[in-house]
Structure 1
Amino acid sequence: MYTSHVEKRMQQRGFSSADIDLIVNHGVEKISSGSSVYTLTKKIANRLVSEGYELAQVDRCKSSYVVVSDGLLITVAHIK
C-alpha cells in the first residue's frame, strides 16, 4: 500500500509503480530503524538488463532505494 508521501515522491522523482515493484522484488533488503530498505544496485541492474528487462526502466531504478514499514511504502529516492 502506498502512502501519500511516497506517491508525491514518485511523481517528483520520476518513478512508476512498476519501478517500485522492480526495486522491491529484485533489490537487496536491509533493515534500518525497523523499516526495510530495498536498493537496486548497479550490479543487479546490469543483470536485469542482461535478463531482458527494459533498459530505460532499469536506468531509472538503479542506485535507488524504497523504504517499506509495516507493509506501507514510505518513500523512494535516488542514492546520491
Structure 2
Amino acid sequence: MTELSLTRHAEARMRQRGYKDEDVDLVFRVGTRVADDAFLLTDKDAARAIRKRKQEIQQLERLRGSQVIVEGETLITLYHTTMRPRRRNRKSWRHS
C-alpha cells in the first residue's frame, strides 16, 4: 500500500466497508486527485485503467514463451521459445 499510516478509524472503516490495502493503493494510482487530501476513482479513470490492462493482457498473450538474452546491460537477442507444431505430410490412403 502507499506509504500511509492508518488511523484506527480508517482501519475500522476499511474492514466494515470491505476495502483492502490493495484497493486503496489502486485508487491512488489510477484515480483523480480532487483535492489536496482526496482522490476519486471516476468512471473515466476506471475505463482508462481497464483499457490499459486489456492491452497489457493482449501483449502478454503475444509474448508468451519469449526469451530475452542479456549480457550485463546489453540486449543480445530475443526470440520465441515455444515450438509450433510441425505440419505432417500425410499421404491419403484410398480404398478401392
Percent of pairs with identical residues: 34
Cα offset for 1:30? 2.2
Match of 2:43 in 1: 42
Match of 2:30 in 1: 26
Q: Measure the CA separation in 2 of the matches of 1:4 and 1:51.
A: 35
Q: Measure the CA separation in 2 of the matches of 1:50 and 1:2.
A: 31
Residue 51 of structure 1 pairs with residue 63 of structure 2: no
Q: Per residue, is there more strand in 1 or in 2?
A: 1
Q: Measure the CA separation in 2 of the matches of 1:25 and 1:10.
A: 18
Gaps of 5+ in 2: 55-96
Aligned alpha-carbon RMSD (Å): 1.6
Alignment size in residue pairs:
50
Residue 10 of structure 1 pairs with residue 11 of structure 2: no
Cα offset for 1:22? 0.7
Larger Rg: 2
Question: TM-score, length-normalised on structure 1?
Answer: 0.55
The amino acid across from 1:49 in the alignment is I
